[in-house]
Amino acid sequence: QSVLTQPPSVSAAPGQKVTISCSGSSSNIGNNYVSWYQQLPGTAPKLLIYENNKRPSGIPDRFSGSKSGTSATLGITGLQTGDEADYYCGTWDSSLSARGVFGGGTKLTVL
């Protein structure tokens, strides 16, 4: 059972928009920045979003992040078949100092 809660799967058609939610508590998301990771099949995770809504260089602006209270959301617009992957949210546990926590992951299917 993961500390952060994500839907197991989401799906949408190419060109459409999808959102992935991540729910936590005041001891993690509520008091820390959220990051998002993309894991393509058979590869290592890659940072997509950091500090709630910032994109590392090279990440297209089709990917966006937001946070409100104890929840965060990843948005992907203009879906492409290459976006099919597992997506994970992550943050830190305020009550346990510098301990990382992740969501259980969401499998995105581009129909």
Partner 1 sequence: EVQLVESGGGLVQPGGSLRLSCAASGFTFSSYWMSWVRQAPGKGLEWVANIKQDGSEKYYVDSVKGRFTISRDNAKNSLYLQMNSLRAEDTAVYYCARVGRLSFAYWGQGTLVTVSS
Nearest distance in Å: CB 51, partner 1: 6
- State which residue, 9 or 16, has the beta carbon closest to partner 1: 9
Nearest distance in Å: CB 110, partner 1: 20
Question: Which string of DSSP letters, residue by residue, matches 62-104?
Answer: TEEEEEETTEEEEEE-S--GGG-EEEEEEEEEGGGSSEEEEB-
State the Cα–Cα distance between residues 3 and 22, nearest whole angstrom. Answer: 10
Query: Interface residues with partner 1 (CB under 8 A)?
Result: 2, 32-33, 35, 37, 39, 44-47, 50-51, 54, 56, 86, 88, 90, 92, 96-105
